[in-house]
Amino acid sequence: MKLLKDILYRSRIVEVVGDTQLAIDHITMDSRLVKTMSLFVAVRGVSSDGHDYIEQSIEKGAVAIVCEELPKSQRENITYVCVTDSHESLGLIASNFFDNPSEKIKVIAVTGTNGKTTTATLLYRLFTLLGFKSGLLSTVVNRIGKKDIEATHTTPDAVKLNELLSQMVAEDCQYCFMEASSHAIHQKRIAGTKFRGAVFTNITHDHLDYHKTFKEYISAKKALFDQLSSSAFALVNKDDRNGLVMLEGSKAIKRTYAVQSMADYKAKVIENQFTGLHLMIDGKDFYSRLIGGFNAYNLLAVYGVACEMGQDPVNVLTALSQLESVEGRFQYLKTPSNVTAIIDYAHTPDALRNVLSTIAEVRTGNEQVITVVGCGGDRDREKRPVMASIAVEMSNRVILTSDNPRSEDPDQIIAEMRAGVDKGQEKKVVSITDRAEAIKLACSLLNEGDILLVAGKGHEKYQEIKGVKNPFDDYKLVGESLQLYQK
C-alpha cells in the first residue's frame, strides 16, 4: 500500500483534482481488474480507450484516476490526475508502486526481429550456470530463479513487469534478462525501468500491421537505446545495417558484435553441422551444441553481454558450451532411419530464410527438404507471399497450412501465401488447411536421410482459431507422426 502522492513521482502531471494523500492498494489499466482502493490509469489503445471506462472503474472501487483528459463531470472523493502521456505515466507509477525494483537488480533487455528469445534465454541459463540467481522475461516463459510463471506477452505490461521485477528482488535475483518487443517499447511499457544494458540482434520485415512503416518499426527499437543512461551498455549487431543506427544519440557505452565485419566482439564460423557449431570467438576455439549461422550471432551476443558485465571470458565460453537450444528454436529430433525433423518459431521471411539456409549448409544434397509453413492471421499480410516464395525456393517440397489464423479465414491466408509461388514451382506445393494433417502428410513423405522443417509456431502449445486457443504442439505431433510413418 502506498500514498498516491508518493507513486506519482516523475509522472509529468498537468493537473490534479482532489486529494493525493489517498492510500492506494492496487494499480491497473484494465477496468475489469479494478477493486477497492485501486488507481485506474486510463490509456488509449489500438482498439479501445481507457477513458471510456473511468466511470465503470469508479463503480468497481477505484479511488483515483490517472488520465490524459479529465472527465467533464467529476465525482466527489475521487482524485483525478491529468498527465501528458498515460502510457509513460503508468510505467513510472508502477515502478514507484513496487519500490523501483529495476534499480535493485541488473536488468538487460534484448530487442530485434529475430533472436530475442534465444539470446535472453541463453543469458539466463549462462548466468545461472555461472552461479548467479537470475530472472527471465520471455515469449516462452517468465522465470524467477527456478520458478516458472506463464508468459502471456513477449514483454509484460508495465504493472506486471514491475511486479515480476519486485518478486525477483525479493528472491535475491541479481540479474533479469528480458525480451523487449517493439510493441512494448512503442507503448512505453518499459518506461521507468532502469536498464544496465541492451542488445540489438537484427531488424527485418515484421509487425508492419502495427507500426505501418519500416521506418516506424526501426524507431520503436531505437527508443530503447535512446533511454539508456551513460552507465549502461548498448551492444548491437554490426552486421545488420541498422545496428549502428541504434547507437546514434545514445548516452550508453557503445559496443558491437559481428561475424562478417570488425567489431568489439568477433566470431568466425569454422564448422556448422547437425552436431553443433565450431566457432572462433575473439581468437578462442569454441564448440556449441547449437546449430546454424544465426546462432553464431546469438551466442556472440550472449558472450558480449557477459564480458560487459565483468565475467571472465574463458569461464563464459566454458559455460556456454554446455547450453542446448531453446524450446521451439531450431529444436530437432532424429529417427533411427536418419530422418531429421526441425521445429522452429520462424514466422518472418528473414527467420525462415535463416533456418532454411542453415539446413542447406549442413545437408549433403542427396536428401529432400520438406517444409511445412503458414502465416498468422490478423498480422502483417505483406509477408505472406514472401514466406511462401522463400519456402519454395529453398525446399524440395512445401506444404502451406494454417498457423494461428485467429479471426481470419485460414484458406484466404494460404491463398495469399500461394500468390508468392512462381508458376513453374507450383508442382512443389500442396495446400492443406488443417495443420495436423499437413504435418502428418509431410512425415509420410519422408524417406531415409530426409529433413523436415515445421515452421511458424515453435514453442507454442496452442493454435488460435476464432478467438479460441486449441491445444496444439508441433514438436509432440511431429514426434508421434514420425513414429507412425517410420520407414
pLDDT tens, residue by residue, 145-174? 999 999 888 889 999 999 999 999 999 999
Percent of the residues in the chain that have a pLDDT greater than 70, as a whole number: 98
Distance CA 177, CA 319 (A): 17
Pairing relationship of beta strands 265-273 and 253-258 according to DSSP bridges: parallel
User: Residue 418: pLDDT above 50?
Assistant: yes
- Calculate mean pLDDT across residues 338-347: 93
Predicted local distance difference test score (pLDDT) of residue 151:
87
- Calculate mean pLDDT across residues 340-356: 93
In what order do the strands lie in the sheet containing 62-67? 13-17, 79-83, 62-67, 38-41, 26-28
Judge whether 386 and 349 are in contact, CB under 8 Å: yes
Of 158-162, 214-218, 270-274, the range with the highest mean pLDDT is: 158-162
- What pLDDT band is residue 182 in, cutting at 50, 70 and 90? confident
Distance CA 217, CA 182 (A): 7
Judge whether 135 and 144 are in contact, CB under 8 Å: yes
Judge whether 410 and 377 are in contact, CB under 8 Å: yes
**Among the listed ranges 118-122, 201-205, 300-304, which one has the minimum average pLDDT value?**
201-205
- Residue found under cell 519500416: 214
Predicted local distance difference test score (pLDDT) of residue 372:
98
- What pLDDT band is residue 432 in, cutting at 50, 70 and 90? very high
Cell of 242: 541498422
> Comparing C-alpha atoms, which of 80, 75, 86, 97 is closest to residue 19?
80
- Calculate mean pLDDT across residues 442-471: 95
- What pLDDT band is residue 211 in, cutting at 50, 70 and 90? very low
**Among the listed ranges 44-48, 154-158, 319-323, 404-408, which one has the minimum average pLDDT value?**
44-48
Distance CA 451, CA 442 (A): 10
User: Residue 183: pLDDT above 80?
Assistant: yes
User: Residue 419: pLDDT above 90?
Assistant: yes
Predicted local distance difference test score (pLDDT) of residue 217:
85
What average pLDDT does the chain have?
94
Cell of 399: 506444404
- Calculate mean pLDDT across residues 182-201: 94
Give kind and range of the element (H or E) at residue 198: strand 197-200
- What pLDDT band is residue 207 in, cutting at 50, 70 and 90? very low
- What pLDDT band is residue 486 in, cutting at 50, 70 and 90? low
Cα-flanking dihedrals φ and ψ of residue 365, to 5°? 105, -15
User: Residue 426: pLDDT above 80?
Assistant: yes
Selected residue with higher pLDDT from 169 and 358: 169
- What pLDDT band is residue 212 in, cutting at 50, 70 and 90? low
Judge whether 267 and 296 are in contact, CB under 8 Å: yes
Cα-flanking dihedrals φ and ψ of residue 315, to 5°? -60, -40
**Integer-rounded Cα radius of gyration of the chain:** 24
- Calculate mean pLDDT across residues 352-362: 92
- Calculate mean pLDDT across residues 169-193: 95
Domains of the chain: 2-97 (3.40.1390.10), 101-320 (3.40.1190.10), 331-484 (3.90.190.20)
- Calculate mean pLDDT across residues 49-71: 97
**Ramachandran class of 406: left when φ > 0, alpha when ψ lies in -120 to 50, beta otherwise:** left
Percent of the residues in the chain that have a pLDDT greater than 90, as a whole number: 85
Predicted local distance difference test score (pLDDT) of residue 308:
98
Predicted local distance difference test score (pLDDT) of residue 210:
55
Judge whether 138 and 155 are in contact, CB under 8 Å: no
> Comparing C-alpha atoms, which of 226, 238, 240 is closest to residue 198?
226
- Calculate mean pLDDT across residues 286-303: 95
- Calculate mean pLDDT across residues 399-425: 97
Predicted local distance difference test score (pLDDT) of residue 205:
59
- What pLDDT band is residue 209 in, cutting at 50, 70 and 90? low
Cell of 185: 517499447
User: Residue 416: pLDDT above 90?
Assistant: yes
| DSSP classification of residue 228 | -
- Calculate mean pLDDT across residues 194-219: 79
